[in-house]
Amino acid sequence: MAKSSPIFANEHYIVKLKSEFNFKVIEARRWISKTIEQERLYKIYHPAKTWFVIHTDKGGIIANIMPILEPLHITCETASSKLLIDYLSNINEHYFYIAKQYDKRLDIGLSNFAIDDTGNLFYLDDDLYRWDDFTAFSASISHLLLKLNQFDEAAWSIYGKNIRKQILNNFNDSHWIVVAIEQIKDSFIANDQQQRSRQALFKSLRNQQNPPDNNIDTSASYKQAPNKITDDLIAIIADIHSNQPALEAVLEKLDQLGIKNGIVLGDIVGYGPHPDTCIQLLIESGFSVVKGNHDNAVATGNSARGFSHHARWVVDWSRERLSAQHKEWLEQLPAYIRQDNWLALHGAPIDKTFFNAYVYKMTYEDNLNNLEEREIPICFHGHSHLSTVYYRTITGDKLSNDPIFSLNHRASLVCPGSVGKTRSQVPQAEFAVFNRKTLDIKFHKIFYKMARTLDDMERFKFPEKLIERFLSGM
């Protein structure tokens, strides 16, 4: 455990010693020079904050001194709602700017911020921390819901609009609003007033005039949730990746089987040459669709994280071909669907971003643990492109590649494979059919007119490596 920094104060100044460091004097000076350079970039510290070195027989102790300021958690006890919203909004402005520009986060607790005599706000913590995909931010909002009794529903609505504005301005991605909402949703709420406050916050974060339909639990999708799925047989498809011939072959096969309803586990676009037609086919199918990481990247243009050079090339190419309506459709897809005894998402149930993490040999145990903790017996997921079932019984965790398998277990992670870009070394379209009554899942693999997909990739001058991977089934 790291040592706490000794603090000394009088009525005017506070001195903090970084005693956890044991530097020679010259090393301490280098550390201070680098820290001052970084703090000037961040623009969140009081201008009178001064770093210095205390010389000792053993070397140099790093320290800083600054004026005594009133911590925000003290200010909020008497401040009006309007003034406090201004301070909190100022914190958010700094917080999201630092996250976007430096991939770091501030410690957003109210005691880490202070106000000077002129009403300006400054950061007190000497340290910044690794960016954590809104986990700490969501926890801080949950704490504020319990603490800020002076905030009524109107105040929370105003504050939610500010959070939404800051997220969109800095990240240009509404999915992060969904991530924040879902994490706040899991927090403890003590009474009805706090519940109403949270709903007012969510409503403004979603920019909704009316609350979402609760018939089926989805993430903040900004549109009415899909109707409850009641058919006995449900198609489970994933990772179409803009491969129109593969999707058409799967939809034709489902029609032959008499299956009218289905769940699409994300990544409608990416990698392949037919993003527009694949989106339109799914809109016309009436299937329930969740968002994948490629869908989000194409919708927003944000492909810096987790995408190879070739994948980013296809993201940019796809954005140029899609209409504004199709990009909006992708952006407003829900992050997950939860109904009865199953959960459907693109990535992994343990992943708070919903579509970035994989279920595979190194992670399936943690994901099965997550399902059991949440009392969800079945999770349908994509992303891995491999037709598999990881499942938990009273005798342990197991893996099945059987073509027909019963999901009547303590917990099951089910991937139907990939429609448009298989990784099973045989270039076929893969999907599954789930029987809601018997809990059986049946996996299908069918051939399709791959030559058309490859011809179109060559015609549109796709990277040769992508064409080779489609052909090899890798």
In this prediction, the residues of the chain whose per-residue pLDDT falls under 70 are: 1-4, 209-227, 474
Quick one: pLDDT at residue 187? 86
Of the residues 43, 67, 91, which one is the last residue of a structural domain?
A: 67
Strand ranges, E, within 106-255 = 113-115, 121-123, 129-130, 217-218, 233-237
Report the SS3 class of residue 71. strand
378 lies in the same domain as 317: yes
Of the residues 177, 211, 245, the one at which a domain ends = 211
If asked whether residues 289 and 197 sit together in one domain, one would say: no
Q: Is residue 1 part of a domain?
A: no
Looking up residue 255, the CATH number of its domain turns out to be: 3.60.21.10
401/386 Cα distance (integer angstroms): 9
Do 139 and 252 fall within a single domain? no
> Cα–Cα distance between 469 and 474 in angstroms, integer?
5
Domain identity same for 454 and 404: yes
- Any domain includes 105: yes
Q: Tokens standing for 348?
A: 């992994």
Report yes or no on 225 lying in a domain. no
* Domain's final residue, options 51, 67, 83: 67
Tell me the two tokens of residue 435: 């029987």
Asked if the structure places residue 414 within a domain, the reply is yes
Say whether both 131 and 190 belong to one domain. Answer: yes
pLDDT value at residue 91: 96
333 C-beta neighbours (distance < 10 Å), count: 24
194 and 114 inside one domain: yes
223 part of a folded domain = no
| pLDDT recorded at residue 430 | 97
- Name the pairing type of β-strands 70-71 and 113-115: antiparallel
* 320 shares a domain with 238: yes
Could you tell me if 102 and 185 lie in one domain?
yes
What pLDDT does 221 receive? 40
Among 52, 75, 171, which Cα is nearest to 122's?
75
Same domain for 55 and 157: no
Both structure tokens of 391: 């499942």
Name residue 417's amino acid.
Answer: G
Considering only CA atoms, give the Rg of the chain.
26
Burial class (CB in 10 A: 0-12, 13-18, 19+), 171: middle
Q: Are residues 257 and 302 in the same domain?
A: yes
Q: How far apart are CA 129 and CA 391, in angstroms?
A: 36
DSSP string covering 233-301: EEEEE---TT-HHHHHHHHHHHHHTT---EEE-S--SSSSS-HHHHHHHHHHHT-EE---HHHHHHHH-
Asked if residue 11 belongs to a domain, the reply is yes
Structural domain that includes position 11: 7-67
Establish how many alpha carbons lie within 13 A of residue 450's alpha carbon, considering only the half-sphere containing its beta carbon: 17
What's the pTM value of the predicted model, to 2 decimals? 0.89
State whether 39 and 183 are in the same domain. no
Residue 262 within any structural domain of the chain: yes
pLDDT per residue as tens digits for the range 107-166: 999 999 999 989 899 999 999 999 999 999 999 999 999 999 889 999 999 999 999 999
Is position 60 within any domain? yes
> For the chain, how many structural domains are there in total?
3
Shared domain check, 61 and 90: no
Single-letter amino acid, residue 399: L
d(CA 106, CA 43): 12
Specify the pLDDT at position 223.
40
22-38 residue pLDDT tens: 888 999 999 999 999 99
Query: Are residues 436 and 406 in contact, defined by beta-carbon separation less than 8 angstroms?
Result: no
pLDDT at 379: 98
